[in-house]
Amino acid sequence: MTTTAKALSLKSNLLYQVAKYAWEGTLYQKNQEITDLLHEEYKDHYTRKQVANQIRIAMGLPPHDSEQITGENDEEALMGLSYEPVWVTDSSICQKCDKEHRDCIAACDAHAISADSEGHIIIDKEKCLGDGHCVQACNFGALAENSQFVPLIKLLKETKDPIYASIAPAFAGQFGENVTAGKLRSALKKIGFTEVVETALYADLLTMKEALEFDEHVKDEHDFLITSCCCPVWIKLIENKYPELVEKISPSVSPMIASGRIIKKFEPNAKVVFIGPCIAKKQEIMLPELKGAIDFVLTFKELNAIFEAAGVNPVEEADHENAQASWGGRVYGRTGGVSGAVAATVERLVPKKVQKLRSLKVDGVLEIQKLLEQLKTSGLKNANFIEGMACKGGCVGGPGRLITPEAGTNQVNQYGDASVAKTPVENPEVYTILARFGHSHTDTVPPLTGESPISQLLGRHLGPNK
Ligand code: SF4
């Protein structure tokens, strides 16, 4: 087996083993056993310390200079969750590749990775956008994303509080073509979730909010609105490098944060776990102004490891259909989804404005940087609603995905087309939420801007005054 294949095999095997022992409740007692087991299998390519550090990261712990997995206070450290999106697993794993071309450095369009005088890679935390593409690019496993699934498994097994799963719109097809939202719901309940919601339903609310904000903020040909749905890398890049554009960002939270805030508003003791393809979301939930809405972020890859460890196969589960979102919310998972949904909703809510909406969608870190540079220097003549996604293809291209971005896009489109509601305006589930905030279905304009309680709950203050 090549070193690349070994690295990939170690990574998925390691996730599975850590999930299995965590599920059995023996992870801390038996972590030396897992290290022995994995080291025996991969010893031609990895030292024991290198394996141990990869296990530590999968457990949510930072790497350290030892073959031991746990120190005295590690369990506590783990429950605190780290803000670091990406770790250098063990600098000795790095093969220092070709001096002229390193896959990890080339994959980082934010220029956050460099090599020190001895050739070891270093991550500039200020520049790091947390999108995690470097992790995928390294063929040797020298980089790994932050992981939160061990404390989540503990929670699933021990807490008496309700635990909600909020599943990202990109879920379609990730666990198999025949795994519907209903089957995934049954599988998630089997591993301990109390309730399962589609993040796409909360995307519906934000689509309405952004359609109304477009009407409010875009008055003449020089105005434009930048969507805040739903990519944290897009927002971080603007805040860090283009602060003059911050005032043009829609003052709304992402659908993920909206789902957590709304669920907890009515069930304050609930825990909410976001499940998607995104690594950057692990950092988004830690931001001071957003903290508390979501308790853990799990990637599809990590969830798959938990399903395997628990012996649950979503393909075989009962299909408890419970349609929640419109076409607009369901297609958020791919590039152009947000702008398409907002355009269709402007047509329904403020038809006089629809001729004026000209949307532009861009994906990939390099491309969004070019667009922002242009917005800053010369502005845009042909667009006044701007959508940026850090991953190629949108979230279906996120590093925690299980299928190709192309297959993910097809599945998301099929799932979107299957919805009976085209926009949130026709989605009864949206009005069920609005009714909980005391608003009637007959309100002509949903109360999603201004001072209303739901507008405040879905609001976010960006920039220096946040
Ligand atoms: Fe995360 Fe989606 Fe942005 Fe990729 S495009 S970084 S998956 S939110």
Q: Can you tell me the mean pLDDT for 361-382? A: 91
Listed in sequence order, the residues at least 6 apart from 209 whose beta carbon sits closer than 8 Å to its beta carbon are 250, 252, 448, 449, 455, 458
Give yes or no: residues 53 and 128 share one domain. Answer: yes
Give yes or no: residues 128 and 236 share one domain. Answer: no
- Round to whole Å and give the CA distance between 285 and 295: 8
6-59 pLDDT, tens digit per residue, is 667 777 888 899 999 999 989 888 888 999 999 998 888 888 988 888 888 888
Domain boundary among 97, 114, 147: 147
Q: Is the peptide bond before 231 cis (omega within 30 degrees of 0)?
A: no
Give yes or no: residues 108 and 176 share one domain. Answer: no
Locate 209 and state its tokens.
């909010």
Q: How far is the CA of 202 from the centre of ligand 1 (A)?
A: 17
Probe residue for ligand 1, chosen from 166, 230, 233 as the CB with the greatest number of ligand atoms within 8 Å: 233
Ramachandran assignment for 32, one of left (phi > 0), alpha (psi -120 to 50 degrees), beta (any other): alpha
> Does 256 contact ligand 1 (Cβ within 6 A)?
no
**Residue 99: pLDDT band with limits 50, 70, 90:** low
Domain boundary among 125, 147, 169: 147
Q: Domain for residue 342, yes or no? A: yes
Cα-based angle 273, 276, 280 (whole degrees, multiple of 5): 90
Q: How far is the CA of 241 from the centre of ligand 1 (A)?
A: 18
Number of domains in the chain: 2
Shortest-distance atom of ligand 1 to CA 276? 7
Among candidate residues 28, 35, 37, 36, the one with its CA nearest the CA of residue 53? 35
Q: Domain for residue 462, yes or no? A: no
Which range of residues forms the domain containing residue 368?
Answer: 155-457
Shortest-distance atom of ligand 1 to CA 281? 1
Q: How far is the CA of 389 from the centre of ligand 1 (A)?
A: 6
Give yes or no: residues 10 and 138 share one domain. Answer: yes
Among candidate residues 196, 176, 192, the one with its CA nearest the CA of residue 304? 176
Give yes or no: residues 371 and 327 share one domain. Answer: yes
Task: Return the CATH number at 297.
Answer: 3.40.950.10
Q: Domain for residue 8, yes or no? A: yes
Cβ neighbour number for residue 164 with a 10 Å cutoff:
22
- Round to whole Å and give the CA distance between 259 and 432: 14
- Round to whole Å and give the CA distance between 398 and 390: 9
Higher-scoring residue by pLDDT: 314, 43:
314
Give yes or no: residues 131 and 251 share one domain. Answer: no
The whole-number pLDDT of residue 80 equals 57
Give yes or no: residues 140 and 273 share one domain. Answer: no
Domain boundary among 107, 129, 147: 147
> Does 131 contact ligand 1 (Cβ within 6 A)?
yes
The whole-number pLDDT of residue 302 equals 93
Cβ proximity of 273 and 295 under 8 Å? yes
The whole-number pLDDT of residue 182 equals 95
Q: Domain for residue 234, yes or no? A: yes
Q: Domain for residue 465, yes or no? A: no
Probe residue for ligand 1, chosen from 135, 254, 278, 283 as the CB with the greatest number of ligand atoms within 8 Å: 278
Give yes or no: residues 277 and 330 share one domain. Answer: yes
Give yes or no: residues 169 and 312 share one domain. Answer: yes
Give yes or no: residues 367 and 306 share one domain. Answer: yes
Q: How far is the CA of 317 from the centre of ligand 1 (A)?
A: 29
DSSP state of 51: H
Give yes or no: residues 135 and 172 share one domain. Answer: no
Q: How far is the CA of 357 from the centre of ligand 1 (A)?
A: 24
Tell me the pTM. 0.93
Q: 59-68, 232-241, 286-295, 413-422: which has the minimum mean pLDDT?
A: 59-68
Q: Domain for residue 410, yes or no? A: yes
414-451 pLDDT, tens digit per residue, is 999 999 999 999 999 999 999 999 887 666 678 888 88
Q: Domain for residue 260, yes or no? A: yes
Q: Domain for residue 91, yes or no? A: yes
Give yes or no: residues 164 and 109 share one domain. Answer: no
Averaged pLDDT of the chain: 89
